[in-house]
Amino acid sequence: MKTNQLSLGTAKVDITPAHPVPLAGFSERNGLYRDIHRKLFARVWFFKQTETTGTVRNAVLVQADLIWWGSDVADALIRDVRTRWRTDTVILHASHTHSGPQTTEKFTSYLGRPDPDYIRYVKERVLAGIEAAERDTEPVVISKASGRCHIAVNRRKRCEDGSVGMAPNPDGPVDPEVLVVKFAKPDGVCKGVLFHYACHPTTTRDNFVSSEFPGAAMEAVESAFPHPVVASFLQGCCGDVRPALVREGQFVSGTREDVDTLGRTLADEVLRVLNGPMDVLSPSLGEMKRVEIELPVGQVPDEQELKAAASKEGVFAEWARLLLDDPERRKPTVPLRISLLPLADALALLAIDAEAVVEYGLAIKRLSRGRVLPLPYSNGMIGYLPTARQIEEGGYESRESLYFFGLPGPFSGRAERLVMERIAALING
């Protein structure tokens, strides 16, 4: 009996800025970067499936060492891919490193100022990478297995006054699973590795370029093979989870050595899984299913409130000016885009253009029985996606962050239910 045949091509392109630019992710970090610790790369995956009917289906996954893909940048790049390769089945995914450049002008400057030349450079390099990956396609066999890694801790902690602060919470939820997917040639030689884990790449706050612990992990996995292999880190729902670098009950900023150590720890688990038994999957590259959800905002400020705020200084004032300059931002809903890409009978990628907290990742895995890997930081970025409980509690993810991202207000508690209902429909539909 004939079955669908999946082919894969890979490429790895350097996207390190050619000259010093501002970095994104920490409001207190100013000026141009001082040094390069680890180069930034975009790793490209070009999937091609020839179906039993003779139909050929293509899909592109780009995993990049970026804090996120700005929605404006992502939309433009996907349009280019659609034109050149006649497919809009594209996932642009970011590792969420906080030691790389900003990729959008849509947010306040406190998240980092974009460099237009760098953004153009990234687009050019990614398109070149897709060309190279397409030329590299060859048949592969897919297998997967999972392990566990314990380098992360929840960062939402209830304070004595009842508020929620950003501090280590060992009792809070995390997702320790490391899901590893291997793509091997018919002769058994490994061609590529995807590994999925949820943790903020915020090991250090130093002003140097770095692919952070995900980059260290990817390089360690790639170098473990005697032949060329592309290994891509897929970031999970890590919105309220960060590296467990803790001293006297408080988070501490790590060093370059800490970045390397955390990356090595994750890579060791990936390699252990690769050297053990893995389940072979039946390829099933399907059409990408999409949904756009209008997330309700609890309360939108009126123009008078915004004008009063805009006359002051700081992030609150800049947020107000963003909303005044763009009336589209003052709508009572914010569109969230989610896409589902099936790769095999027990493997699909769920792209989300938001910074989802860990509870969403755990819920999606339960709902799909581990078949679906949630990929926030994909195909754009709107800001944080908190749970209903977090919206009620307050804290950075649900309240304070909205000013940095230029959102009109905190989401309604109904947002979580709407999101999970639509995700369930995508998975089960």
pLDDT of res. 410: 97
Say how far apart CA 63 and CA 94 lie, in whole Å.
6
Angle at 340 between CA 336 and CA 346, to 5 degrees: 145
Residue ranges of the chain whose pLDDT lies below 50: 1
- Spatial separation of the C-alpha atoms in residues 241 and 397, rounded to whole Å: 11
pTM over 0.95: yes
**Long-range CB contacts (within 8 A, 24+) of 133-137:** 133/9, 133/10, 133/11, 133/44, 133/45, 133/46, 133/60, 134/9, 134/46, 134/48, 134/85, 135/9, 136/9, 136/10, 136/11, 136/46, 137/7, 137/8, 137/9, 137/46, 137/48
User: For residue 291, what are the CA distances in angstroms to 329, 350, 361?
Assistant: 20, 11, 18
The CA distance from 145 to 72, in Å, is: 35
Position 2 scores a pLDDT of 55
CA–CA separation, 249 and 130 (whole Å): 45
What pLDDT is recorded for position 429?
A: 80
| Closest listed residue to residue 214, CA positions, set 238, 189, 191 | 238
pLDDT digits (tens, 9 = 90+) for 126-142: 999 999 999 999 999 99
